[in-house]
Structure 1
């Protein structure tokens, strides 16, 4: 493979912002200044353009940016504040969710039917007409530390979503929680608010490692939190673990993994620690105070974990995620399958079609990073979108390839055809070239099921993607890319608000 090829920077940023590499709310480069909204913010959305009226479905991500302290490895879009007006933040989250649902038209309930989710929490009578097929398929509260938010804030957002869109009673609603803010009473409050799945940020079950990571909790508190969560959310409690910590040995990691297996529920996420530039932990390693883990050790740790978890009944369904008894995260799968998703809250990312503006092309959207500025924009315009970019067909396929190959199912022919009706997977990757060489080497499979990595290929996906992206770009041709200005910026990028 050509060593000089690299991921396009935009795809590296996307991959870092999505599950499998940390939080959806990871900080992105700030966009240009926000433009004033030219018109009223409460006008009803226009009717769909003919030919684009298919029911809209999307996942919803809600970013809570606040933490009690910043961990030594964290470069996510998080903030530590002395005092917080939670009522004001709640109102802005609610309003932005309503606005973006309206823009995407994931908001229509035919015959005036209320959401199943809302009906479960209301005694208001309703008719028996079928609900709209337009719906929010899942909701994920990430951060930051969303377990620091009050259950009332979570309930208010979910009520707003249920009032603006069809939210099925069985829709997955996940909340990330830190052990230090996961008491039984607090978790019970979140369950009463509508949360039905928890993701616990354990990170390590060793006190010395937790101190190095700058975590608030102890190993004992982590165990208590997971046990409490399993009691309230049986079969729907996930835990996160980090490996490849400075100074962590292969034997130490095996011990952490064994302890986690004795504690975990039916879902576990394993993330290799990334020493992010600008973090305290990266500075310690760079300064020689802590050793940098060698790459071969990191690979051994990952392979050990994969083998141990699969041997104990877990399915390795995504690069960093393992589940048994069908406990896959449906919300995270929506990212990896390139479904539409809406990001709400400071720094949240989204990918959806603005049907409410008569659009038919997918946009990449990023909300304003800084919470106070974001709140001001939401209060003025209904949302705090800082940047918008219409994705051309090649860019959409690049994202599909980058994210879809993270899963064991890979990219199905049906999914690919939704984004590329003119060029099939066989047209692009079945011809002589890099993809065929990867297949012959045992890294990749292209068959009637679609395109996917082998067991061995999934472990080295990052090294395979540059060649696959290069072959995709060659197959579709540079003519499909938009013109670039002299500084290399996409001429289709739009900054600021869109008058909603």
Structure 2
């Protein structure tokens, strides 16, 4: 039976209050992240958990993903899955039947919320384009396309295995299959990229894209080929002042094009936001399946009462063996203290344009509201006076200018949070640890 038929049989609406407003059942609903670890080649800038195999046993990989999904759903006792995200690696190299099998496993052991978002990351090569229709038939209803650049020389420096024309063809096919539900990833701060060339490239992207754009500044990660090239002076990247201007320019161009910046790196029009990623930013539960995947949930079937941060075994072969032996391959699990959980609520929530509402904060911190924790701090008040932070009846959020300065604002807020919750007795937590699934 096609998975779409299964979806129609098992879909439900998550609990709602009498007023019709969704009631977040943090212990009974979650999103699902599925990591496909394989790629055809490693990009020069990438340090993600990915592998270049000689061959892939798709049957064994599918069985292992299904079994770990079933086991972790049982451990979490989650009954409602709100979204699924197939990331990597290059999940568009997986067989559509693998995607369908994982989704059917979910439908057998939990239920999907109404209009559940199912996203697949796509590498815009001819092979990726050729399978899009089959992925839709398997149950995917949203694509995230790793375009990265429409400049030939930039793609070569990044080590990408597609051309600008192939990216445009893949984007066109994806928009035909999932109109209004296609995102593109675009990078700035690339080697030899100027402010003018970046502006021209972004305007070209906006002339062909759908309703969602994700902007990422190139990060030079130690151990990558590109990092070594820059260290040796073989290639040159723009300075911090230039990349700051690039980001500001991009925000203004996207705003004029009708895109709302709803998160530091994400822009949408026609309300085409990524509900899966919003789940991360709102500190909702998520289950991570696959080699190296991360998760955050309360393990009820193990008599857990605290949310755990879980990381699955990194290496695919070892991960498969552990799943066969134990049903899952959780290599690391750490109970999050109250302070650590609030740190994640703060760090992730302030990434969003809407910030953190009083109601949302109270769900995690009923004993102390936002005004009590932050409002009396002199450093905080100075940031308010500069117009970088806003704390009002709506909650806590960054201003338009403050969102661009979030990395420099967070250390003060985290210190304030730690000082508040460690008085008079010390907590077991340490500040600054946050995790989340990363996009390619």
**1:258-290 deviation line (CA, Å, top 9, x unaligned):** 110011100000000000000000100000001
How far is 1:448 from its partner?
A: 1.0
1:445 paired with 2:399, answer no
CA distance in 2: counterparts of 1:308 and 1:391, whole angstroms: 40
What residue is the counterpart of 1:37 in the other structure? none
**1:418-467 deviation line (CA, Å, top 9, x unaligned):** 11111111110111332222111110000111100000000010000001
Q: Is residue 238–residue 265 contact of structure 1 (8 Å, CA) maintained in 2? A: yes
How far is 1:311 from its partner?
A: 0.9
Q: Is residue 377–residue 383 contact of structure 1 (8 Å, CA) maintained in 2? A: yes
1:57 paired with 2:2, answer no
What residue is the counterpart of 1:428 in the other structure? 373
Runs of 5+ in structure 1 lacking a partner? 1-52, 107-133, 491-500
Q: Is residue 147–residue 181 contact of structure 1 (8 Å, CA) maintained in 2? A: no
What residue is the counterpart of 1:219 in the other structure? 164
1:279 paired with 2:224, answer yes
What residue is the counterpart of 2:255 in the other structure? 310
Structure 1 counterpart of 2:58, from 86, 111, 118: 86
TM alignment of 1:24-35, pairs within 5 A: none
The 1:290/1:172 distance shift into structure 2, 3 A limit, reads same
**1:216-245 deviation line (CA, Å, top 9, x unaligned):** 000000000000100001000000001001
What residue is the counterpart of 2:3 in the other structure? none
CA distance in 2: counterparts of 1:105 and 1:375, whole angstroms: 23
Q: Is residue 92–residue 128 contact of structure 2 (8 Å, CA) maintained in 1? A: no
CA distance in 2: counterparts of 1:99 and 1:256, whole angstroms: 45
1:397 paired with 2:342, answer yes
What residue is the counterpart of 1:110 in the other structure? none
What residue is the counterpart of 1:337 in the other structure? 282
What residue is the counterpart of 2:428 in the other structure? 482
**What TM-score do you get using the length of structure 2 for normalisation?**
0.90
Q: Is residue 351–residue 364 contact of structure 1 (8 Å, CA) maintained in 2? A: yes
TM alignment of 1:56-75, pairs within 5 A: 56-75=28-47
Runs of 5+ in structure 2 lacking a partner? 1-24, 434-440
**1:276-314 deviation line (CA, Å, top 9, x unaligned):** 000000100000001132100000000000000011100
SS at match of 1:225: helix
How many residue pairs match? The answer is 407
Q: Is residue 393–residue 480 contact of structure 1 (8 Å, CA) maintained in 2? A: no
Q: Is residue 336–residue 407 contact of structure 1 (8 Å, CA) maintained in 2? A: yes
1:76 paired with 2:51, answer no
1:267 paired with 2:212, answer yes
1:416 paired with 2:354, answer no
RMSD between superposed Cα atoms in Å: 1.6
CA distance in 2: counterparts of 1:169 and 1:163, whole angstroms: 16
The 1:138/1:190 distance shift into structure 2, 3 A limit, reads same
